[in-house]
Structures are given as structure tokens and as C-alpha cells.
Amino acid sequence: MARRNKPPAVHNNDTASLLKKINWTAVLIVLCTFGYCFYRASRPSCGYNNGWVSDYTRQCFIPIPQEMTFHDAEAYCKAKFVGHLASIHNDGDASALNHHIRMVFPSIKYYYIGLNKYACDNYMWQDNTDVNFKPPGFDMEDGSCAYIKSEDRRWFEGVCRHKKSFVCTKRADTVYDLVWKLYNRE
């Protein structure tokens, strides 16, 4: 009488090995023929920094509640995020940034942005982008730095050595999501 051997039990390692061998592209193509299609979608993200991505400029705004001088805040943004103090290029970003700060960090009353004025009336953003936006009537003295009052969004100029909270900006990371969609094939 011949003895029959039991088939070996499938272990997790065998299953993992099998999953690695599957041609997932072929599986997705087969599913797509039945109306279920998967695709990679990209979106900007600030990571886990309590940041917010601008719909206009695609940069991350990252509020920092810790108080520092203007120049120490700029150094912090460079070291921590490879970024700069925030540059604001339109009213939409100014409004959305202030709303984000008031919702996420209600303790922040005043915060530095990256605008300052050097000698000879030269306004300058710390990231060297064009100064193409400032609120009407806002003016600064030479050697001063800009900050915003979160309560009413008003911009002020002041001495750069005073300590305030601040907002850093950095380039948004690109995150990819696998998305599926059921298509109507009729």
C-alpha cells in the first residue's frame, strides 16, 4: 500500500513569495477590462509638519509657535525645512494662511513672514522671489521686518530683534496615491 504524502502547509513566507511573483501590472489590466481601473494620482503634501499647501503657489506654509528673532527664525526655517520665512504673493494665500493659523494655533497672536526692507527702499522676500503683493497702504522703514497680527490679518513692520512666532515655507513634497475608479463601459 502506497503512502500518500500530505501536501506541505502554506506558510506566510510562501504566500509573501507568491505575492512578489505576481505580475501586478497584468492584474490591473485585467481588472481594467472589467471596468475597474487603478491609477496613480499625485498631490502636494507638507508631510507631518502641521503645514498647509497653497492652492495658488503649491508651497507649504508651516506655522511655528515658538518665538524667535527674525534672523533666528529664518535660520530655523533653513535648517529644519530647507526653506525660508514665508513669502506671500496673493491675497488668497494671505487669507488662507491666517485662517489656518487661527484654527490650528490659536495661541499665535503675531507672526513673522519673510519680508524685510533694506536700505534704499528695497523690499525683499527671504526666498528672493519678487515682492508682487503687499496690503494697500503697508509701508516699512529701512532695516525693519514684517509681521502679521493674526486677529485681523493686518501687516506691521517692526524691529527684527524682537521675538515672535513665525511661518516657514518649503517646497511641497509630491505624494502618490493608488486610486481605483469604476468606469461605465456603455
pLDDT in tens, 49-86: 667 776 667 788 899 999 999 999 999 999 998 999 99
Distance CA 102, CA 108 (A): 7
Calculate Rg over the CA atoms of the chain.
Answer: 26
pLDDT at residue 166, rounded to an integer: 97
Give the predicted TM-score (pTM) of the model.
Answer: 0.69
pLDDT at residue 20, rounded to an integer: 58
Q: Looking at the DSSP assignment, which residues form a beta bridge with residue 140?
A: none
Distance CA 41, CA 181 (A): 12
- Please write the tens of the pLDDT for every residue from 14-52: 655 555 555 555 555 555 555 556 566 666 667 766 677
| Residues 6+ positions from 134 with CB-CB distance below 8 Å | 115, 123, 155
All structural domains of the chain:
12-42+174-182 (no CATH), 45-173 (3.10.100.10)
- Please write the tens of the pLDDT for every residue from 153-185: 999 999 999 999 999 998 877 666 656 555 555
